[in-house]
Structures are given as structure tokens and as C-alpha cells.
Structure 1
Amino acid sequence: MVVSSLLVLPSNSFASEAEQKTAQKHRTHVTKVQTYTLPDKIKRFSYDSGLTFKYPDAVRGIYVTGNSAGGSRFNKLVKFIENTELNAMVIDIKEDRGNLTFKPDPASPYADIAKNYIEDPRKMLETLESKGIYPIARIVVFKDTVLAKKRPDLSFKENGKVWTNGNGDAFVSPFKKEVWEYNVGIAKMAAELGFQDIQFDYVRFPEGFERRDEELEYDLGEYKNVELSDVKKRVQAVTDFVSFARKELEYYDIDVSVDIFGYAATIPETPGIGQNFSKISSNVDVISSMIYPSHWTPYFGIDFPDKEPYRLVNEYAKVENEVLGALEHAPKSRPWIQDFEAPWLYSGAPTQYGKAEVEAQIKALNENGIREFLLWNAGNTYTKNVDYTPLK
């Protein structure tokens, strides 16, 4: 970018002859400013939380609920990480129902949605800092029963009442910018506490939305008159939220990451939930595909993916590499992998996910050049004695 300046003053018919001569002199005078080229990355003023975390050689993390982070299990999980090649925690800050997992200042607009799971989040982060454990804040966005019940106008309604899915969960609308600002406000609090990465989850419409689109009542907001199909409108809204969040969080100099369904990488865009893998990836620092083998129906020619974790992850990684490789600015890939059983898939005993199955997934990622990953276990009970760097 080249910077220069030209100073020109307008004439004034009411000025004296002397003033007009002075003005004429300035009109023909070029003020020369030193020309320079701005660097690609300008060092800017950014927020300093007072905590210092070094980005690991590759993030290898575990999921931690608010209950675990604020309870006796926290110290056990810290020791677990210290005794392995793991180095990061993804900690719930806004959980699946829509509650905060810590109490902010009583004057905060979020005080009424807060649970006291993590009594002192700053102290928790200071512990992670001292142990060299990288902190990532998980914020569930559009799945939000608490906000939907409080503000039905921001949600989806059926027969005048807030609609809920089969699990009793309500969603708020990605079309509503007030919802965007609400969640980004929580992200800013997390950044100010000292988290180094804001991970947005449930960045989507409810599953199967394309089948109930015409049945539900909701406000399209600024997207009402946009000349796009319903599918494209959903994709645009979700993508716009991600772009908005990243821009709003620039000041904090942190990474922005998004969780996304694994199958989204294999199709142009999801028809119901509004996820376009390439568009979301282009607007984040980290993309975290949820590639749990248990969550796939027959795919990639694999009849029962849960029984073949290595093969499923290997086939997925090939597709993701191709999609990300086509982007001008590709984010880091940091997939979610499986460290749990899926008994709902079986009539008898399910495939056990232990050392061999977890290592198989990591090995498949590593062989495809994907070095980062996150382990999911809803109860935060992780397999012991796993080699988390199998190719080293």
C-alpha cells in the first residue's frame, strides 16, 4: 500500500486579494509525504490479559465441561495432560443449554444466565498457564434453550410456542444479528479472562431444518429480501456470523475456531443446517470437523464406520485436504476425534474405543499431514496409555 498526500485549498470569492494569492499558492503546492509500503501484517494494539501462553508444536487437546473445570476432576485432568503428549483443554464457557459456566460481574448482561460451575475462571487459567496447557473456550452458539425461552422472538416457533427438537433443545436464529452480538459478547469476556482461542460450536440451524422450514415461524431479519434460495440464505447467514465474530475479536489477538459436521467437507453445502465448509473455513483461524466414526452412516464405501476408525478418518482426511488445499487462505485443521463408545448403533455390545481405536484415528490424521486434534468424551473420562504422537 503506497501512501501520499496532496493538499488543495478551495478558493473563496469573499477573500481579500492577499488571501486569494496565498490560497492560490497553496492550491498549486504539493505536500510531499514519504512513500512507504505497509507490511502484510501490521502490528496493532491488542488486548493484554496478563497471561502468557505459548502455542504448542501442535494442539492436542481434550474436552472439559464446566463441572469438570470447576470441580475436583480438574486437577486430575491437568495431571493426565502433564503425563501425556497432550497439551490443551477445550473448556465450556457457554454450554449446550445456553448457560455460562461461571459467574460474571453482577452488572453483566449475562449474569442471569450464569451457573457457578467454575468459581474462579481466572485462577483456573493461571493454573493452566503455570502448567503450559493451552486454553480454548467453547461457546455453543445457536443451540440455546435458555435464550430461546427468554426471547421467543429470536427463536423458531411452532403454533406460537418455542419449537424444540426431539431432545427438548431449542435453537435461536442465525438470521438475527442480535443473537450474533449476544454470543460475541460472551467470546469477548472469555478473551479478557485469558483464553487463547474461541471455539464456536453449533454454528448452524437445527438438523433437518429443510424439512420443517415452512412449518416453523421465524424472522428472517435482514435476509428477508435477499435474492437467494432458502438454502443459500441459511448458508449466507451462518457464514456472515463467522465473519462478523472474527472481525469483532481481532482486537484480542486470539484464534477463532468453528466446529463443523464432518460430512460438510464432502458436499458443496448442507441443505438444512447452513454450513458451507469452504466458506466457513475461509473465515476462521482453525476448523474443527467432528469426524467421530460413530456419527457417520455408511460412507466412503465403509458399511459400518464405527467399527473401522482408521479407515474412516483416513478417507475423510483425504477429502478435507483437497478442499482446504483449494482455498487461498486455509485455516489450521484440528478435528474432533472419538474417545467414547456408541451403544446406540448396536443391538449387542458396541465396539470398544480404547488405546488401539484412539491411536488409529490419530495415526490416520498424522499420515495425511494433520497434526492437531481434539478428543471428545462427554463425561471427560479419557483412555489411558494412548500414544498421542504415533508417528514420532
Structure 2
Amino acid sequence: MAGVLFLTGCLGAQSEKALPISSAKASAPETIEVQIDELPKDYFFIQGEDAKLIDESGEVIRPLFFQERVFLVRKGVQRSFVEDYAGNQGYVDRSYLSKSFSSYISNEYEGVEYGMYAEKNRPYREYVPVRAVYMPGLQLKNVDVFLDRLEGSVINTVVIDYKDDYDQILFPSKAVDETLPDASYPLLDNPEEFIAKFKERGLRLIARIVVFKSNQYASQYPDQSVVDSSGDLFYSDEGYWVSPHSRQMWQYIVKLSNEALAYGFDEIQYDYVRFPVSYGTVIDLRSPEEENRVTAIQKFIMYAQNNLNDRNALIGSDIFGWSAVSITDEGIGQHWEAMSAVSDIICPMLYPSLYTSGNLGLDRPWREPYEVIKRSTEYALERNANIQTPGLIRPWLQAYDAFIDFNEEEVAEQVRALHDLGIYEYMLWNPDGHYKLGGLNDLQKDRPASP
């Protein structure tokens, strides 16, 4: 593949460090009870490139992807009534249904689970396809103004940092009190009032949690963190890193996740769920279990899946867009099939400005938002077809200026590319929180009724 791809986190463009708004510590919420739905027992895989889920009148609900798994509700003579992962129910011609499944993973890693993941052996109840924007810490003081800008748009979800790139925690946290007692936090001490502002407008909330890049945790627990050959904490991509092998860190992150859900967030999204880029430096990853990078990342996601108090809560995993193209883990533990197999949502960061000349067969990819999204997502769909319990693809799209101005047309072209592939959800990233959404309203009129 010609060209060089720049690796960065979810931060497609650098954002300014937010300062705490309040240092008062209110009480953290209690955890919630676990509830498990009764699940369909029978399922089939879609075999064919043009299968569709249709309603009683014959209208298309959504296209079905090759080797996508659907749950049987009622068997028919010529067509069966099925349910997809998102909870959509409709008919599909029985000629497309098969029990057989073929996997073509080019590079399998030892110790990784590529088969059916039991925790995902169910459809997602009352799933709401997400059209989201990211709200950075810079906007916390201006939340009403930020929300006013979303009025009349197609946006139905907001992604907010619960633990950000600088270890700042949004709300009062028992987990932080116990683990990092000297940490300065929270950013806000009025969680109920803050959450209510979004809920009153019918908006869902996703808690973004930066996982293994953590200055405060690395400084507090250097024995759990990545170090260089001199034994000093390793600094990469503007931060120190805790080893993804650290079970102690896994527990801390899951405690934060449960707090976010108890406060009223609807979904958890993990960012920087990877190893640091070494940039040629010899580093010690602290691997007492002698497990490889890909296995460590997958096991962390599986640990979170098994330890969220709300078993119906969804987990999204951010992943480099290039991971859909590369058959390796790029040295950071992000292997597409390994992460998608155990994540409810897989979130490739498909920012055109991060691709360089020659990537995806494009001379100037930063000037071709439609083609970058279309070609990258085609790779992602092909990779998802290799696994029996793939994550729903919900990409991060660019909504910030870089090399060229990203105005309404450029933002809409990215969404149009997803629609042309049968994907109707996305998240927009702008590190300052200013979005140009007008071009999305017209697109939304032409989408299928569901999802």
C-alpha cells in the first residue's frame, strides 16, 4: 500500500486542554441491577449480496450484509420472519438463509477468539441507530448554546468524555477516590441537572472513556505501565501509557464505565484501547501473562462485556480506520476481526485528512471524502464478514478543517457514502465542538425507514 498513514487517537485534530469547572465532590451513584432478556435460540447467516429485510407491505427496511447473522422469529415456506442485531424485525427470502459460515481471516493471532462470542448471542433491544456529534470539554460551560445548535438537525446522540485524554473525570467518582485519591476532579458536580438537559431534548448519551493512555494512573502505578529501556515511563502521542496487559487497569476502567451508566449514559465507548506506538523505541509492555498484544486488547473488551452492571448496555470500541485495510495489528494490538468479534459497536476513525497520497488508491484522499469513506467501509464490511458476531459498524467522520475546509458538503458526502453501502449511523468529530450539519437534513429524508 503506497503512502504513509498518520496514527493518532480519536483526536483527528488536537483539542485544547479543558480546565476543571468545579472541584466539589458530590456522591457517586449506586450501581444498578442486572437484567437479562430471554433470547431467540435459532439463527441463520445471510448468503448473498442483495438480501433485504422487508416489512409486510414489501417495503425495504434495510439491506442485509453478506454473512450477517439474523435470529429466527417465525419460519415460513418462501420467506421467514427474522430479527437483526439492532432489533429490526421483517421478512427475508429463505433462499438467503443458511447455517453455513465461511471465514477468510488472512492473519489469525494465537490465543484470539474468532468464533461466536456468547455475550453477543442476542439482538439489541430497542436499538436506536446513532447519528452523533462529539461534545468536547470546551463546551461544558456552554451546554445550552451547544444544544441549541443541534435543534432541527438529524443528530440524536451526543458523545461526551467521562474520562478524557487528560485523565479528567466528568462527574464525582468513587473509583477515582479509591484509585487516584490525589486526582483533581470532577469537571462538573451537578450530574443530574447536566444529564437532564440532554434527555429533555430527546438526545441519547455515549460516555467516551480514554482507556490505556493515562498520565495520572501511569504516574501512580508505574509498575503497571509501559516503560522504556531505562525504566522510565514511556511517552507517546502526548501521554504516558498503562499496559493493556494490566488487569488492575481493566478493573478501574470498568468501575468508571459502571458509574457512567448509573449516572444516565446510554452506551460506553472506549478510545485509545490499544498499545502505544513505539516510534522505534525499545519498550517494556509489562506482559506477565505472556499474552500477545491482540489477545490483551480482545480480553480487555471481553472483561468489560462480562462486568458491566447493565448487561444490555452496549460497548463501542474505537479503532484506526486503517485497521480495516491492514491484516496485521499495526504493532498496537488493534486487529479488526479480534476487536469486532467482541465489541457491540466497532467505530473506525475514517478521517480523510489522516490518509496520505496513495492510501486507498487515491492521489489526494484528503480531498475526496466520499471515496475515502466508501472504500474504507467496504474493507470494514469485508472484514466483518469473516466473523460470526461482528460489531455494528458506526464510523467516526471528519467534521473539522484540515488541508481543506470541511463544510456542509464535505460532511454530507461522507454520510452519503455510508448510505450507499447500507449504513445509516455515524459520529462526527470536531475537537472544538462546532458542526456544520445543514447538509445532513436532506440526506436523512432519503434514508430507509429503519434503521
**TM score, norm. by length of structure 2:** 0.67
2:217–2:242 contact (8 Å) kept in structure 1 = yes
In structure 2, distance between residues paired with 1:135 and 1:379 = 18
Over residues 280-304 of structure 1, what are the superposed CA-to-partner deviations in whole Å (9 max), with x where a residue is unaligned? 1111111110000011123111022
1:136–1:197 contact (8 Å) kept in structure 2 = yes
The answer as to 2:288 corresponding to 1:221 is yes
Amino acid paired to 2:160: I
Amino acid paired to 1:216: I
Amino acid paired to 2:332: I
Partner of 2:260: 190
Matched ranges for 1:152-301 at <5 A: 152-158=222-228, 159-165=230-236, 167-208=237-278, 211-212=280-281, 215-223=282-290, 226=291, 233-249=292-308, 251-297=310-356, 298-301=358-361
In structure 2, distance between residues paired with 1:356 and 1:197 = 29
Aligned partner of residue 337 in structure 1, secondary structure: strand
Matched ranges for 1:53-202 at <5 A: 55-56=127-128, 58-68=129-139, 70-72=140-142, 74-104=143-173, 108-109=178-179, 112-158=182-228, 159-165=230-236, 167-202=237-272
The alpha carbon displacement at 1:39 in A equals 4.7
2:153–2:437 contact (8 Å) kept in structure 1 = no
Q: Which has the higher contact order (CA 8 A, sep 6+)?
A: 2
Over residues 213-260 of structure 1, what are the superposed CA-to-partner deviations in whole Å (9 max), with x where a residue is unaligned? xx223421222xx5xxxxxx0111011101111111163421111000
In structure 2, distance between residues paired with 1:311 and 1:84 = 25
Q: Which runs of 5+ in 2 are unaligned?
A: 1-37, 42-124
Partner of 1:5: none
Aligned partner of residue 326 in structure 1, secondary structure: coil
Partner of 1:321: 381
In structure 1, distance between residues paired with 2:233 and 2:317 = 26
The alpha carbon displacement at 1:199 in A equals 0.2
Partner of 1:339: 399
Over residues 367-391 of structure 1, what are the superposed CA-to-partner deviations in whole Å (9 max), with x where a residue is unaligned? 0011110000001111142325614
Q: Specify the structure having the higher radius of gyration (Cα).
A: 1
In structure 2, distance between residues paired with 1:274 and 1:242 = 12
Percent of aligned pairs with the same amino acid: 30
Aligned partner of residue 347 in structure 2, secondary structure: strand
In structure 2, distance between residues paired with 1:220 and 1:134 = 38
Amino acid paired to 1:327: I
C-alpha RMSD of matched pairs (Å)? 2.1
Partner of 1:3: none
1:59–1:373 contact (8 Å) kept in structure 2 = yes
Partner of 1:365: 418
Partner of 1:312: 372
